[in-house]
Amino acid sequence: MTRATLEGAVVAVALAFGVAGCGSGTDAQSGGTPVPFKVGTFERSGQAFVGLVLGDTQVVDIAQARLLVLRGPAT
């Protein structure tokens, strides 16, 4: 596993836990319904990437999302 892939996987897991914790109220603390998510490796244009699956309909490229977050809001 390359360093970039490993970093992407770590970011993906962190984002997944963050998304899972974004429920209403304190459901996670009270044993409420868990928020499902999936993390996997995907291929686009011959390039593999780590992605976070949202709602079984969208795949977020973790590395690209990380770059956008680090860049900050557009002005």
pTM here is: 0.50
pLDDT of residue 37: 77
Q: 33 φ, ψ to 5°?
A: -65, 125
Beta bridge partners of 43: 48
CA–CA gap between residue 33 and residue 46 (Å, rounded)? 37
Residue 71 has pLDDT above 70, yes or no: yes
CA–CA gap between residue 54 and residue 36 (Å, rounded)? 9
55: three-class secondary structure by DSSP? coil
pLDDT of residue 36: 72
What is the rounded average pLDDT of the residues 7-31? 61
pLDDT of residue 72: 86
HSE-CB at 58 with a 13 A cutoff on CA atoms is 5
pLDDT tens, residue by residue, 23-60: 555 555 666 666 677 999 999 999 999 999 987 888 99
CA–CA gap between residue 47 and residue 26 (Å, rounded)? 39
